[in-house]
Structure 1
Amino acid sequence: MKKTRLLNPQLSGAIASLGHGQGLTVCDCGLPIGESVERIDLALTHGVPGFLDTLDVVLSETVVEEIIIAKEFIHVSPELYQQFAERIQLLAEEQGAPVKVVQVSHECFKAQSDLSKAVVRTGERTPYANVILKSGVAF
């Protein structure tokens, strides 16, 4: 059995295969996922697993240099956004480098998520609870 937090083999493999600058999307249960991108569907029921729970595990396994969000996330779901922002600040401290957060329109976000290495679908129901994590390097 693996020693680290992440137990899902499909998600573990997707993270292990990320190259510098490649994206991994973590999304709510409503984001459309293109046919050409790998879908890692973790959703069990509404809210399970949650966006933040999933993000915490993914961030524990991934070097992140940039994050893309829909600008609507900040205004439509401010409480969840604040919890997300706190995690990103901690991530930057742990990595010893800033993590750039890029805001785009939701339409642009959907198009960019289709370019990700994989899309991880959670059971989250909070609007715009979606991020694209751009892989950094560990050296």
Structure 2
Amino acid sequence: MALETTLILFKPDAVAKRLVGTVLSRFENEGFKINGIKKLFLTDELLADHYSHIADKPFFPSVRDFMQETPVIALALEGEDVISRVRDLLGPTDSKAAAPGTIRGDFGDKEGDAKMRNVCHASDSTEAAAAEIKRFFKDGEVF
């Protein structure tokens, strides 16, 4: 097992539904350690950088609009194999396909866009986590 740090973004649906504390407690109950946490509004520039792999797609404006509905909560979370374990806790990206007991299965949107309104973003690799943490946290904000 490797000690890792991952980035979690509590998306606007989680913020609007007041699910941040509930979901955060699931992460803490797994033994993960909070190394950084903050609330921020995602600018067009930050979203274009974060979603650079889809920024040229016709659906990107709807992603941007959703991610700017409310401020988000950025979380740097540390633990043994935290990247894969968090992704298991979240369940599949599509909340409609997520099993009960997973975060997305319990709290994700089942009626609308279940792939976007799915509570949290989580890094998918150590390389992505390093880049994403650097993107959302300034020096001295992750402990």
Same fold (TM over 0.5): no
Query: Greater RCO between the two (CA within 8 Å, min separation 6)?
Result: 1
Query: Which one has the bigger helix percentage?
Result: 2
TM-score, length basis structure 1: 0.28
TM-score, length basis structure 2: 0.27
